[in-house]
A = this chain, B = another copy of it.
Amino acid sequence: MPAMQNNNPISQNLLDNIKSPDDIKNLSVEQLLRLSDEIRSFILDVVSVHPGHLGASLGVVELTVALHHVFNAPCDKIVWDVGHQAYSHKILTGRKERFHTLRQRGGVSGFPSPEESEYDAFATGHASTSISAVLGMAKAAELAGDANRNHIAVIGDGGLTGGMAFEAFNNIAGSNVLIVLNDNGIAIDKNTGIIGDYLKKLPLEGDRVNLFENMGIRYFGPVDGHDVKGLITILNKVKTIEGPKLLHVITTKGKGFKKAEQDQTRFHAPGRFDRQTGEIINKKPGTASFPEIAGQTLVALAANNSKIVAVTPAMITGSSLQDFQKQFPRRIFDTGIAEQHAVTFSAGLAASGYKPFCAVYSTFLQRAYDQVIHDVALQKLPVVFAIDRAGLAGEDGATHQGVFDLAFMRSIPNMVVSAPMDEQDLRNMLYTASRYNKAPFAVRYSKNRGMDKLPEKDFEEIPVGKGRKLEAGENIALVTLGYAGILARKAIGELKKENMFPAHYDMRFLKPLDEEMLAEVFSRYRDIVTIEDGTVKGGFGDAVLAFKQKHGFNNRVSILGVPDRFIAHGTRAELYEACGYGPVAIYNKIKELAGS
């Protein structure tokens, strides 16, 4: 049995006997406190070895226990906003035995998933959706005449900065819903903006008509989110109150694990760490990740161009902008979880002569699809989109795969859409984007680590819309976009050992497409294989087919990429293969084509 952080060893026998939330209904407050400690210890045991979202999960242990004690899931619907706070919920709802498979292929998802359990009322992975979902469920219950069902959204103060939470508030009148505001003052980085500042001041003395009550929502709190007894008392009270109500709960992210409380940003999702000391175990200290390289590059570019500014929706750390923030604190804007605003705010900066680099994860840019079209591309504003976590993201799973961006950006007029293959190309592409002022310029890159330590080199401008030949070959040409080129290179290495020599071209740009290079490829090679780290529906392969059609070529084209289904969690290496464009899959495809 692992030692407890609080040096107070407790037998695990309570948690071992919890098969469903029914099993905690009759526990005493003292037992619930012990249970909370056991859950916390169990999460630490598992997540220290099988990495996941630690901080948020540790923060809501008591809240989860209290909610499942007071409410009757799955009849009562509990929706966990963003979802990575749901580990305790998963452990209490029949998934303890499988919890060690967390975020692994075929294992327990890191986010709520109705496919996984009837206790997960709604799939959540992106922020700010829970209130809307719960309102829909509450209206359904009302129409069905089902007055006994409770509907609860648990949303963080970070999630509250997303506009759709306010859209839901605007529609909340008359609905029997409980919003549990899990206020820990932090998303991944410290929360920014007025809402967060405002929450700190609650309750304002003599001013009971607060922001929420102005919107017709009964406000309760703030209460201590680690006091199980207090939580149960207040939850039982608000449960009986008609109409929309909000319970403001103060929690500590990383609660109960000293290192996680001290460095909340790092322990949001720390990777493997020492269960006793909390030391984080770094895997590959020698190489930088693509996001890190992008962050370093932006600092270098900004040092030479005072018009460059950075905009990020709550991803200072995620997008490796900490150095930028230190060096240019006036030139970086953290909007909170607010992708729509981040993009249109960037458009406003660009309209006034600045050069914004809007750094957004691919999956979250989906939130600002309309703003990219309507506020940026339509006006040809030179916003640079630094699109992080593009392609398969891996362990975060279906809600976080960045597989749609190539397809959805390809159909937007005026956009330059690039996907650098390696770390040197990423640097040069960002440099190129910084000098391009005719229209928006997207640079999408993977979450992967680079392969080498990056040499110190001057920046080189890349001709916009031009690809490059990496390798001549025989019969078959691999035409890759972005990180897919690295996967292809591995396959080519193996094929060479067997005296097979496919050519390799790196497109670099999805848009504009290098038709000159493609004409060369189609003229010289019998078989063309396109490979992209994104959906094949509407993406790069389709663009190559459209080229082929337009120019009347008849070569055989094989399109490798993400198939038309949602891709669950797993390592990226596993998922590349499962999707048919990992090195082994590429190798097999080439062998198959060569033999046919």
Contact = CB atoms under 8 A, between A and B. Distances in A.
Interface of A: 77, 114, 121-123, 125-126, 129, 132-141, 143-144, 161-173, 192-195, 197-198, 204, 207, 209-211, 214-216, 309, 330-331, 333, 335-336, 338, 340-341, 344-354, 356, 364, 366-367, 369-371, 373-375, 377-379, 398-399, 404, 407-408, 410-414, 535-539, 541-543, 545-546, 548-549, 552, 554, 556-557, 559, 564-566
Nearest to A210: B214
Contacts of A340: 132, 163-164, 167, 367
Contacts of A411: 404, 407-408, 535, 537-539, 564
A336 B171 contact: yes
A-B complex: 6 closest residue pairs judged by Cβ atoms = A136-B348, A163-B163, A538-B538, A140-B352, A167-B341, A167-B338
Given A330-B143, A546-B559, A137 B349 contact: yes
B164 A351 contact: no
A78 to B, nearest CB: 13
A406 to B, nearest CB: 9
A536 to B, nearest CB: 8
B211 A194 contact: no
Contacts of A549: 545, 557, 559
Given A171-B341, A407-B408, 6 more contacts: A132-B344, A137-B352, A140-B352, A366-B370, A413-B566, A554-B554
Give this chain's copy count: 2
A564 B512 CA distance: 11
Given A136-B352, A163-B163, A340-B163, A413 B214 contact: no
Nearest to A353: B140
25 contacts: A114-B351, A123-B379, A132-B340, A133-B348, A133-B351, A139-B309, A143-B309, A167-B336, A168-B341, A169-B194, A170-B194, A171-B193, A171-B338, A198-B216, A211-B214, A366-B369, A366-B370, A404-B411, A408-B411, A411-B564, A536-B546, A537-B538, A542-B542, A545-B549, A552-B556
Among the interface residues A144, A350, A366, A411, which one has the most CB atoms of the partner chain B within 10 A? A411
B211 A215 contact: yes
A258 to B, nearest CB: 32
Among the interface residues A125, A330, A352, which one has the most CB atoms of the partner chain B within 10 A? A352
A167 B193 CA distance: 9
Nearest to A336: B170
Contact of A351 (B137, B204, B556): B137
Contacts of A207: 209
A194 B217 CA distance: 10
Contacts of A410: 407, 537-538
A378 B123 contact: yes
Contact of A546 (B121, B204, B545): B545
Contacts of A535: 411
A152 B136 CA distance: 36
Nearest to A126: B374
Among the interface residues A141, A215, A348, A374, which one has the most CB atoms of the partner chain B within 10 A? A348
Contacts of A215: 194-195, 198, 211
Contacts of A139: 309, 333, 345, 348-349
Contacts of A369: 366-367, 369-370, 408
Contacts of A170: 161, 193-195, 335-336, 338, 341
Contacts of A554: 554
A378 B167 CA distance: 22
A51 to B, nearest CB: 23
Contact of A366 (B173, B348, B374, B559): B374
A410 B192 CA distance: 36
A388 to B, nearest CB: 16
A161 B167 contact: yes
A331 B144 CA distance: 11
A474 B170 CA distance: 58
A144 B535 CA distance: 42
Contacts of A163: 162-167, 340
Given A139-B333, A214-B214, A538-B411, A132 B341 contact: yes
A340 B173 CA distance: 18
A150 B166 CA distance: 28
A373 B366 contact: yes
Nearest to A129: B344
Contacts of A169: 194
A81 to B, nearest CB: 11
A168 B541 CA distance: 38
A335 B137 contact: no
Contact of A164 (B123, B341, B354, B564): B341
Given A136-B349, A195-B170, A413 B367 contact: no
A211 B347 CA distance: 27
Contacts of A345: 132-133, 135-136, 139, 168, 171
A331 B139 CA distance: 9
Contacts of A162: 163, 167
Nearest to A134: B348
A331 B143 CA distance: 8
Contacts of A333: 139, 171
A336 B566 CA distance: 31
A541 B318 CA distance: 38
A565 B411 CA distance: 9
